[in-house]
Each structure stands twice: as C-alpha cells, then as structure tokens.
Amino acid sequence: MLTALAAGGAAAATALATRTIDDGALAQAFARTNHAGASVSLSEGVGLAAGTLATALITRDDAALLAAAAGAGFGALDDHRESGNAKGLKGHLRSLARGTLTTGGAKLVGISAAAGLAALMIGRDRGARGLARLMDAGIDAALIAGSANLINLLDLRPGRALKGAGALTALAALLAEDRGEIRADIAGLAATIATAAPGDLAGEKMMGDTGANALGAATGVLLARGMSRPVRVAAASAIVGLILASEKVSFSAVIDANPALSAIDRWGRG
C-alpha cells in the first residue's frame, strides 16, 4: 500500500509542480536556451524536486527529505542567482580558498553539509555505534553528495541525467540486502523519473541544478540505505572517480566516441 502511495504521490507532485510553472506567471523566468539553441523550460527541475520531497514525506524519510531539500534549494540558487565564473569542482574550491563564495561554491558547501547530516541520520536508523557509525557516515555522505554532483554533471543532453538517475535507482533496488517487496522510496523516485521523462527526452524541458541536485541527492540516499558496507564503498568510489575524471575528460566526448553509450544516450529522444 505504501509503495503504491509513494509512486502515485510522487508522480502527481512532479506533474502538478511542472504544470504550475509552465502555466503560471513564472514561466518566462524559467525559460532557458539548451545546448542546441532551442528554448526549454526549467520547470522540470521544480517537478523533480516536488517528486523527491513527496516521496520523502510519504515514506517518512528524514534523511532523504533533508538531502533533497538542500539539493533543490542550493540548486535553485545556482539556477536563478548564479554568480562567479568558476567551473567544476576545482574551480569552486579555488574560489573558496581565495575567500570568494560563488553560488556554485555555496551549493558545494551546502549540499555536502546536508549530505553529512543525512548520513548521520541513516546511521542512527541503522543502529550503528562508535567507529562503525563514523565510517558509515563518511561512506554515505560521499554517496549522497557525489550522486547529487554526478547527476548535475550528466545534465547536458536530453534524457541523459534522468537515465543516470534511473540507473542509480535500479542499482539501489538490485543490490539491496533486503530483496523483498519493492521499497516505497525506490518506487517514488522511479515514478518521479518516469513522469519527467517525456518532456526531458523531447527536449522541451530540462532539470537544471534544482532538479539534478534534488534527484541526485535523493538517489544517493537510496544507495546509502539497505546495501552492505562493501557495496556502498564500491559505489561511492565509482561515483567519486567519475566526478574526478570529469575534471579532465568530457563525458559527452566519451559517450559520443562509444557506439553503445551513444545509442543509450540517444534512446528515446524526440
């Protein structure tokens, strides 16, 4: 029952929030130009944030609620009040080292702090104690903050970031220690992604930082919950490795050069 409620509530929240922006007075403020020069709307980001928050509220997941809210809030700041020219992880860290707080730097600090607190909440729920709890908190914080960053990095082409989030959600379901009934939190995020997919794949909407960071942080919480420590370490290492690699290598260039990845990337686009 809770699984169906989470899926239905998340889908409804995603659709309603997106439509409210598109049909309201804020539509122009959310208009952007994408990589191809076409006009798109950032309303999808608000919809994704609403879907992730609805899932967290329905499932009573305080850690997911905090992580998604921080991702959405700091992402919205970067979407609508962007400041500074720093790019990438190194750029933002250099700005912070010079005492300059850009919106990207604020996002980095804020989401990382929220990820740390969310990780401690997950450890509390897990019942861990002492050194084991601190170790788990570090792993889980890396998963949450890393997933938020990774999904943001993938938001360069229609559907790419949603496919990445979908892959992480599927990973959380497949590698969960308890493989019983589908968890309500997984169902909620899957419904959120599915609801946003048509507009994103058609190139009419994009998630922006608001949606990417909210969705990414929420999927990070999924990965942190229910999987064994070795699996979480492996997942966190892979995600952090991809983020560090993005400082040197273009994801788009790698995807375009690989036929299989390119086919997956183009699948479903309008």
Residue 205 — φ and ψ, nearest 5°? Answer: -135, 160
Q: Which residue has the higher pLDDT, 187 or 35?
A: 187
What's the domain count of the chain? 1
23 within some domain? no
164 within some domain? yes
218 within some domain? yes
32 within some domain? no
117 within some domain? yes
Mean pLDDT of 108-123: 95
22 within some domain? no
**Residue 123 · residue 222 · CB < 8 Å:** no
Mean pLDDT of 46-51: 98
The contacts of residue 104 (CB under 8 Å, 6+ apart) are 78, 82, 84, 86, 87, 91, 92, 95
- Where in the sequence is the domain holding 48, given as residue range(s)? 2-15+42-266
**Residue 216 · residue 147 · CB < 8 Å:** yes
Mean pLDDT of 94-101: 71
Q: Quick check: 108 pLDDT over 70?
A: yes
What gap in Å lies between CA 212 and CA 183, rounded to an integer?
22
6 within some domain? yes
Q: Which residue has the higher pLDDT, 147 or 105?
A: 147
Instruction: Give the containing element (helix H, strand E) for 2.
Output: helix 2-23
256 within some domain? yes
Q: Quick check: 255 pLDDT over 60?
A: yes
Q: Quick check: 91 pLDDT over 90?
A: no
Q: What is the mean pLDDT of the chain?
A: 91
**Which pLDDT score, from 0 to 100, does residue 103 have?**
79
Give the 3-state secondary structure of residue 31: strand
The contacts of residue 259 (CB under 8 Å, 6+ apart) are none
Q: Quick check: 124 pLDDT over 90?
A: no
In angstroms, what is the C-alpha Rg of the chain? 18
Residue 39 — φ and ψ, nearest 5°? Answer: -80, 130
- Percent of the chain having pLDDT more than 90? 72
Number of neighbouring beta carbons within 10 Å of residue 10: 32
**Which pLDDT score, from 0 to 100, does residue 33 have?**
86
Matching residue, tokens 């929030």? 17
Question: Up-side HSE of residue 97: CA atoms within 13 Å toward CB?
Answer: 7
**Which pLDDT score, from 0 to 100, does residue 139 have?**
96
